[in-house]
Amino acid sequence: MSPIQKYAIGAGIAVLVSLIFPFPFWVTLLVVLLVVGGPVVGYLMLDPSQRERLKRARRRGIGR
């Protein structure tokens, strides 16, 4: 399972939990943004050389 699929499942679970329990809309939006936006912000904080190293590591792992 790819990391993107894991983040999508996490966001979906966060939405389902917020539908079951009556949270205000802004709390639901904040939780979903943290689940999806956290890894995106972490990736954007990397240096270009670190991003390239991460891409190479992903490419190496695809053939396994």
Reported as a single tens digit per residue, the pLDDT across 34-53 is: 877 888 888 899 999 999 99
Does position 64 have pLDDT exceeding 70, yes or no?
A: no
State residue 17's pLDDT score: 82
Per-residue pLDDT, averaged over 17-42, amounts to 81
What distance separates the 2 farthest-apart alpha carbons in the chain?
45
Supply the pTM of this predicted model.
Answer: 0.50
Q: Which two tokens stand for residue 34?
A: 């943290």
CA atoms 32, 34, 39, 43: torsion sign:
positive
Q: Which two tokens stand for residue 17?
A: 């939990």
Does position 6 have pLDDT exceeding 70, yes or no?
A: yes
State residue 50's pLDDT score: 93
